[in-house]
Amino acid sequence: MADKDLRINEQIRVREVRLIDEKGEQRGIIPTLEAIKIAREVGLDLVEVAPQSIPPVCKLLNYGKYKFEQEKKVKDAKKHIKATEIKEIRMQPKIAEHDLDFKSGHIRDFLEQGYKVKVTIRFRGRELAHTEIGQDILKKILVKLDGYFVMEKPPLMEGRFMSMVLQPKAGIIRKQPVPETLTSDGNEI
């Protein structure tokens, strides 16, 4: 539940609430004004934690501390999320075989480094009438990269572009080497 949805103390407008004290023990259903009074006596806030239940469930806790801990949990969750960057390789339908090998090598390198790769073919003018040439090129790339990828998005036409997205297979990602650190006299640390 989002913090802005939580009502505290006088914001709780129902007649009675199910109260849970600071130790997590249920105190039963009591009038809201009495629950607020109990919260003030212990130096805590009355926080509505389950407004959808009848009567709503309220808990005695330090709201500032609770809010801080919730924000901390959200920050920690964001730290562990790895944003996958997408590398894009563009080409045209009239690409030469050597260039296709060269671009396939780049795609393989990107996949080994753990990046997703978007392979795009740009059609110009009359080339749009022959999109099957673009599909053939993408098939050749898939054959050259066999065993390196998982198809995330199959080849699709999007306006003047045909593209597909490949993500690396788990076993092919290689770790980046740690650069060696040298001292001023040329010795390793």
| pLDDT digit string, tens, across residues 50-91 | 888 888 888 888 888 888 888 898 888 887 776 678 899 999
Tally helices (H) and strands (E) across the chain.
4, 8
109: domain CATH number is 3.30.110.10
107: how many CB neighbours lie within 10 A of its CB? Answer: 21
Which tens digits make up the pLDDT trace of 148-170?
888 989 999 999 999 999 988 88
Q: Residue 182: inside a domain, yes or no?
A: no
Q: Are residues 102 and 142 in the same domain?
A: yes
- Strand 45-50 versus strand 86-91 pairing type: unpaired
* Structural domains of the chain, count: 2
- Full residue range of the structural domain in which residue 12 is found: 3-62
Q: What is the DSSP string of 16-74?
A: EEEEE-TTS-EEEEEEHHHHHHHHHHHT-EEEEEETTSSSPEEEEE-HHHHHHHHHHHH
Could you tell me how far CA 29 lies from the centroid of its own chain?
41
| Alpha carbon distances (Å) from 167 to 34, 87, 92 | 59, 10, 22
Residue 118 has pLDDT above 50, yes or no: yes
- What value does the mean pLDDT take over residues 103-118? 90
Q: Residue 33: inside a domain, yes or no?
A: yes
- Residues of the chain by 3-state class (helix, strand, coil), percent to 5: 40, 30, 30
Q: Which amino acid is at 61?
A: L
At 22 the pLDDT is: 81
Average pLDDT over the chain reads: 84
Q: Kindly indicate the confidence band of residue 18, based on its pLDDT and cuts at 50, 70 and 90.
A: confident
Q: Are residues 38 and 107 in the same domain?
A: no
Q: Are residues 97 and 146 in the same domain?
A: yes
Q: Are residues 95 and 146 in the same domain?
A: yes
At 25 the pLDDT is: 83
Q: Kindly indicate the confidence band of residue 137, based on its pLDDT and cuts at 50, 70 and 90.
A: very high
pTM: 0.51
38: domain CATH number is 3.10.20.80
Q: Are residues 57 and 134 in the same domain?
A: no
Percent of the chain with pLDDT over 70: 88
Q: Which amino acid is at 21?
A: D
CA angle 45, 46, 48 (to 5 degrees): 130
Q: Kindly indicate the confidence band of residue 117, based on its pLDDT and cuts at 50, 70 and 90.
A: very high
**In terms of Cα–Cα distance, which of 163, 167, 166, 152 is closest to 120?**
163
175: how many CB neighbours lie within 10 A of its CB? Answer: 7
Lowest mean pLDDT among 54-58, 133-137, 165-169, 173-177: 173-177
